[in-house]
Structure 1
Amino acid sequence: MNIFLHTAMGMLGGLGIFLYGMYIASEGLKKSSSKHLKEFLKKVTTNQLFGAFAGVVLAAVMQSSSAATVMVVGFVNAGLMTLRQAMGVMLGTAIGTTITVQLIAFKMTDYSLLFIAIGSFLFIIGSSTKVKSIASIFLGFGFVFFGMGIITDAMAPLQTNPEFMNAFVYLSDHLILMVLASLLFTAIIQNSAATIALAMSLGASGTLQLETAIAIVYGANAGTVVTALISSINTTKDAKRTAVAHAFFKLIGVLIFLPLTEYFAVFMESIGSDIERQIANAHSIFNIVNLLILLPFCNKFADWMLKLIPEKKETIKEVKYIDPESLEVPTVALMKTKKELERMAKIIDDNMFIGIDRLLRNKDSSKHDTIIKNESKIDVLYKSIYHYLQKITKKDISDDESVESLKYLYINSDLEEIADSLQQITYTLMKLDERNIKLNDKELSGITNFYKEVRINYIEAIKGFEGEDKEMAIKMIQQSPGVLRIEKKLRYEHFHNSDSESSRLSSTYIRIINELLKINQRTVSISHTTIGLI
């Protein structure tokens, strides 16, 4: 068989096993840490050092700086993280993925089959999600190391091939070309660790000199920006700024190190035992030094990004926070779903509840169209959130995530029903306007007061949901019987004291009361869901 075909088969097959192993390990890490990841991300503060540490952890869990960076862009887009907070986190993500490269340099390829054996055994005997997640971690890293071994063996024959060696000699004299080639390859496979692992295999086989391998490290780090930039295309301005800032961070790092590559290689040789260890150390030191240089300027970078990408008035999208990329990390996808539900609840309060209030008080007919249009927005949001949650539930998620998904499905349905009822009240009031019929002062006053109580309950229920405040949710549930008493009183007074005009309006009056009662029932349901009664 042709030497190049044999090498290509070994390299591609080994790379496939490597990437598959990274995927399995990442899935296992995400499942085992999902419960803590949500709380951890909530604690990211304006302290850039803590943010950088958060980035290290996130990338270590994702096992890909590209994926971690895309996730950070998503956090900013969802409002889970500010632009300033994201700066430090971005720098930290680069360090998180150096862990895998360091493990490879420890000659873990010799123990790949042991990792696979442990992972397989745990899968067979394990019944809980936690044990299977740990099994995935062992299996994943086993495949990573096994794939790395296959790549190294496949590269060995090339060190005696003059054509291949001449090509690398040429590239060794043109490091910028090697950086660009490495950047392109990383952008295609979306995994910088895999690119560096190839460099380590080439180095171990004697094909690659250290300086050229370090150029590959530069390109692999720079290549991670492509995925983030693409993911930011249809996002908020701050998310775009985050992706662009990340690109600048990497570019600055490469520009600082590239002219010093010769001295950097000498330094790596002095502290590393073999070329694989030297390449792994170069990858780690590049990112650590980059972080130390740029971390003090993170807030300044955020200010520069605001000037570079100024704010423009954008068309408001029906769906703002949820995105397909986040589905890869169900914990994050659920956090974004919650943000979308909170936004949905705010639209209902700001544009529909308030509109009904003005219709009742001032007969502001312009509010009819506003309420109806916003109900259409709520329908779009409801469908989008429903399908998004269905996709989450099809993932291999934990029991806690499954319960959380179910909660959000309930609340999504409740909010949509509340919007429907507000629309029905609007249609009823429109009919009254068209017929030039008015409720008498007593009936109007009764409905207005009833409406106010229902809205107060709604606001408190949403606050309880947003803050995961069970005490507030319980308080709202306890207030509900008061609303029922008001409803019974209004109904009784209407039938007991009705005159001819009220009798004619009876069905309209009762219809409005019934819709307000439905809204309150759905509001109570939201509070029940908040405290876990589903």
Structure 2
Amino acid sequence: MNIRDVITLLGALATFLFGMSTMTSGLEKLASGRLASLLERLTDNILKGVLLGAVVAGMVHSSAATTVMCIGFVNAGILKLRQAVGVIMGANIGTTITAQILRLGGLSDSNFFLMLLKPEMLGPLMAFAGILFFSFFNGGKKKTVGQVLLGLGLLFIGIKSMENALTPLTQLEAFQELFVRFSNPVLGIAVGAAITALIQSSTASVAILQALSASGVVTFATAMPIIMGQNIGTCVTAIISSIGASRNAKRTAAVHLYFNIIGTLVFLVVLYGLNAVFHLPFWNNVMNYGSIADLHSFFNIICTLLLLPFNRQLVRLVEWTIPDSGAADPVVSVLDPRFLSTPSVALERARTVIIQMGNLAKDNYRIAVELLSDYDPKQLELLTQQEEALDHMEGALDQYLVKLSRHSLDAHDSDLVSDLLHALSDFERIGDYAVNLSESATALHEKDLVFSDVAQLELKSVCSAVSDALEQVMEAYRTHDSYAAFQVEPLEEVVDLLTATLRERHVERLKQGVCTVELGTQFLELLINLERISDHCSNAAVRIIHQNAERDSLVRSDIHTYLKQLHQGGSRQFDELFQEAKDKYYIPIENASQLSAKS
């Protein structure tokens, strides 16, 4: 084996790893955060967790990625440690799917259709089909499907190239003698763990073993300890990921490590004990692509079946190993940096914080409006605390989204980051204007000022309209519903109409001496802040419409022109909603004004 073969081997390994990374990234985009949502919702039962972990790891072709995702969810308080145990066990089974796919390399050439399924044929075909999709579609699922096909094709090309590059090495007598030594279980486990830890992928290290098997030097006695070591080595990724995380996140990584170490020890004792007594007939059998894939799956399935009944004891073990410590900031936990490597999950976490911000801003608005009619210092203190939390969340989320934007994002995810940045600014500003409302309420309380019955009725109508707009915005963000978001803009226009009308009326009252300057100033200040809250509701709502719209729609290309068209009669549905809101909030004020004038 010369330097050219070494370089070819490195290039083949790089192609394989890049193909796996490309395929995994594409699968995550196709999932669009649904995998994360599944992990959150379907882990109430240990058996469901195992099944779910197997499905997720099988889809993303990585137990390490699934475990890291679990660590992030545990760190965020979304999953409990016991829920994560089942997912981790299942992930070890799901990750074996790649080796099963690669066993296609052992198919016979006698049948043309079977020959097409071999990696050297299927890889280039899939890569070519993938690059066509990836190059000729500007965005959407077709481009992502192309990315998955391209990644899978490169994975096949990489494994075949590794096999070719390793052929000269496996023919050397010194290498064959060295490989025989790996039948020593301690050495084999150490080598398997070291290689996997180095490339941080048990799937890739199993693929290397499969490529080596083509030479006929791999026997059961050498493959078994290497596979056991590979399962231990893959834990390094999770351990690195847990550094700086919460106590339970560290425990989650420890579960992954203990599960594989205990499984390996059980296999060592039972398997080598049986061979010592009965001299197992398959011990020196030569392995191929398929038998290595089966052995990898068998080991992980048996380990799961053995340890699944002891999941509670496993949790107690890690809790004893890693004792209690201080609690983490819940916002920082939700915005876990581990999610940044999986943009769809990171965006879903960011959206969770956006909804929390919106709910806090909405609650502060409610408190501020109640303070106008029923002043309560304790409620004001709560508002102040929640405003501080809002500012903290805004700063943390802003930094998180900026970091996320530096990762390789497709057009959809990049647009979503921009929309979320705008939304967090809108909710933070709504919180600020709620504080302004509370300051007006405090001024009125301290100076013992009371609005006239007419002014109170007018304010109540505007406050109700703004409250309705806030409720619609939060409904839109909770359900990702474009229609709920669409209903905000007619309300915003009614609020504009109300504030403009009431401002004129109050100025007239000031001229007539019906209202004092001090009361008039506070009334106008309240109208300004209510109108601005309504404006930010409109801004936040239109971002939901922007996210869900087709790429060639007006709202995607020019939001301001889209809104202008709505206000100028460009939508019958908008006009109907505007009239409903006007009848509900504006007409009663008009009627009350006319009755007041007659009396």
Give the TM-score normalised by structure 1. Answer: 0.81
CA shift in 2, pair 1:501/1:267, >3 Å: farther
Contact 1:440 1:502 (8 Å CA) reproduced: no
Equivalent position of 2:132 in the other structure? 124
Please tell me whether Structure 1 or Structure 2 has the larger radius of gyration of its CA atoms: 2
- The 2-side partners of 1:184 and 1:355 are apart by 61
Q: How does 1:28-107 map to 2 (within 5 A)?
A: 28-34=26-32, 37=35, 40-41=38-39, 43-107=41-105
Task: Give the match's secondary structure for 1:439.
Answer: coil
Give the drift of 1:369: 6.1
- The 2-side partners of 1:353 and 1:377 are apart by 20
Give the drift of 1:70: 0.9
Task: Give the match's secondary structure for 2:136.
Answer: coil
Equivalent position of 1:519 in the other structure? 533
Q: How does 1:145-156 map to 2 (within 5 A)?
A: 145-156=156-167
* Structure 1 unaligned blocks of 5 or more: none
Instruction: Report whether the alignment pairs 1:112 with 2:120.
Output: yes
Percent of pairs with identical residues: 28
Code of the residue aligned with 1:228 in structure 2: it is: A
Q: How does 1:416-455 map to 2 (within 5 A)?
A: 416-425=428-437, 437=447, 439-440=449-450, 442=452, 454-455=466-467
Equivalent position of 2:212 in the other structure? 202
Instruction: Report whether the alignment pairs 1:395 with 2:409.
Output: yes
CA shift in 2, pair 1:519/1:235, >3 Å: farther
Residue number among 228, 238, 242 corresponding to 1:228 in the alignment: 238
Equivalent position of 2:154 in the other structure? 143
For residues 398-453 of structure 1, give each alpha carbon's deviation from its aligned partner in whole angstroms, at most 9, with x where no partner exists. x5x566555534432321221232344466678889xx645336599679856577
Give the drift of 1:68: 2.0
Give the drift of 1:486: 7.1
Q: Which deviates more, 248-257 or 155-164?
A: 155-164
Contact 2:220 2:284 (8 Å CA) reproduced: no
- The 2-side partners of 1:24 and 1:90 are apart by 23
Contact 1:122 1:131 (8 Å CA) reproduced: no
Q: Which deviates more, 468-477 or 242-251?
A: 468-477
CA shift in 2, pair 1:470/1:83, >3 Å: farther
CA shift in 2, pair 1:267/1:489, >3 Å: farther
CA shift in 2, pair 1:169/1:39, >3 Å: closer
Give the drift of 1:264: 8.2
Q: Which deviates more, 218-227 or 322-331?
A: 322-331
Give the drift of 1:508: 3.9
For residues 479-527 of structure 1, give each alpha carbon's deviation from its aligned partner in whole angstroms, at most 9, with x where no partner exists. 7678668757864675455569830353344223311222233235444
Contact 1:78 1:339 (8 Å CA) reproduced: no
Instruction: Report whether the alignment pairs 1:502 with 2:510.
Output: no
- The 2-side partners of 1:283 and 1:249 are apart by 15
Contact 1:16 1:147 (8 Å CA) reproduced: yes
Residue number among 457, 478, 483 corresponding to 1:466 in the alignment: 478
Q: Which deviates more, 331-340 or 118-127?
A: 118-127
Give the drift of 1:203: 3.7
Give the drift of 1:249: 1.6
Code of the residue aligned with 2:253 in structure 1: it is: A
- The 2-side partners of 1:307 and 1:482 are apart by 61
Code of the residue aligned with 1:142 in structure 2: it is: G
Q: Which deviates more, 332-341 or 280-289?
A: 332-341
Task: Give the match's secondary structure for 1:172.
Answer: coil
Code of the residue aligned with 1:64 in structure 2: it is: S
Residue number among 280, 284, 289 corresponding to 2:297 in the alignment: 284
Code of the residue aligned with 1:116 in structure 2: it is: P
Equivalent position of 1:380 in the other structure? 395
Equivalent position of 1:17 in the other structure? 15
- The 2-side partners of 1:349 and 1:427 are apart by 17
Contact 1:355 1:367 (8 Å CA) reproduced: no
For residues 376-405 of structure 1, give each alpha carbon's deviation from its aligned partner in whole angstroms, at most 9, with x where no partner exists. 32440452254256447x5125x5x56655
- The 2-side partners of 1:57 and 1:159 are apart by 36
CA shift in 2, pair 1:429/1:361, >3 Å: closer
Give the drift of 1:228: 1.2
CA shift in 2, pair 1:452/1:247, >3 Å: farther
For residues 269-316 of structure 1, give each alpha carbon's deviation from its aligned partner in whole angstroms, at most 9, with x where no partner exists. 499884433322111001111222233444564566556556554252
- The 2-side partners of 1:40 and 1:244 are apart by 23
Instruction: Report whether the alignment pairs 1:214 with 2:229.
Output: no
CA shift in 2, pair 1:422/1:272, >3 Å: farther
Give the drift of 1:466: 1.9
Instruction: Report whether the alignment pairs 1:239 with 2:249.
Output: yes
Code of the residue aligned with 1:284 in structure 2: it is: S
Equivalent position of 2:375 in the other structure? 361
Equivalent position of 1:184 in the other structure? 194
Contact 2:51 2:90 (8 Å CA) reproduced: yes
Q: Which deviates more, 133-142 or 15-24?
A: 133-142
CA shift in 2, pair 1:363/1:356, >3 Å: farther
Code of the residue aligned with 1:251 in structure 2: it is: I
- The 2-side partners of 1:335 and 1:329 are apart by 10
Q: Which deviates more, 290-299 or 514-523?
A: 290-299
Q: Which deviates more, 249-258 or 266-275?
A: 266-275
CA shift in 2, pair 1:297/1:467, >3 Å: farther
- The 1-side partners of 2:121 and 2:228 are apart by 31
Give the drift of 1:198: 2.2
For residues 163-215 of structure 1, give each alpha carbon's deviation from its aligned partner in whole angstroms, at most 9, with x where no partner exists. 54454444433x22331332232122111011122223334334444222211
Residue number among 361, 368, 371 corresponding to 1:348 in the alignment: 361
Give the total of aligned pairs. 526
